[in-house]
Structure 1
């Protein structure tokens, strides 16, 4: 358990696990998390929701209102978790595609340079042949 003193000093930028993220103070200008902490938070949220569920339903009192409220909150949490995962996946795919696009652009540029060099060499060879023909005729 974290001591009360450490809890007061804990900031979200220094949080290393989900429990720390949950209790950390939000800093006004520096409330970002590193990528590992974000990934851990998303995974932990999914594990927590799964642990709370019992037979696909959340354990609540026998009151219908409570059951609907808890299930609604759980559905909202699952939706947010899935949205976060989708964004993370899209960002990863976009990054990979950007890298591939840059590599292809480099290859195309090199290919154009090689083709241009080849054409220049061909022209030099042709000019040399013409020069030799004219000189020795």
Structure 2
């Protein structure tokens, strides 16, 4: 009797910025690596990504819909609490505009709770790296789509 095949455990979670970059890049190797990781279950997609792309970037949303076997990761209450702790550890203040947007903290907290690497890009990558450094999170907890 054959044993059932084990589901692969995810290694990455990708946010809107990372997915938009991966699906619009001119580097086919990056695009293919991200799509393969999503289809194999090695990469999860943050739940808000689909609706954000649908509203703000319909061509990229259509590319996302063409990907088979994608799995989403919700930002739950535990992640929101962890994000609040990260904001506090970061020490920034929205009053003076020094704290990055809350979605950066939520994405990073969700990734950390599930022991995943957050894949993001652009300004979000720069801000997440700064948050990780300031909050003394492990090196490699945030990366760009090209790092897959």
TM-score, normalised by the number of residues in structure 2:
0.20
Of the two, which has the highest radius of gyration?
1
Report the structure, 1 or 2, having the larger strand content: 2
Asked which structure has the greater RCO (Cα within 8 Å, sep 6+), the reply is 2
Report the structure, 1 or 2, having the larger helix content: 1
TM-score, normalised by the number of residues in structure 1:
0.21
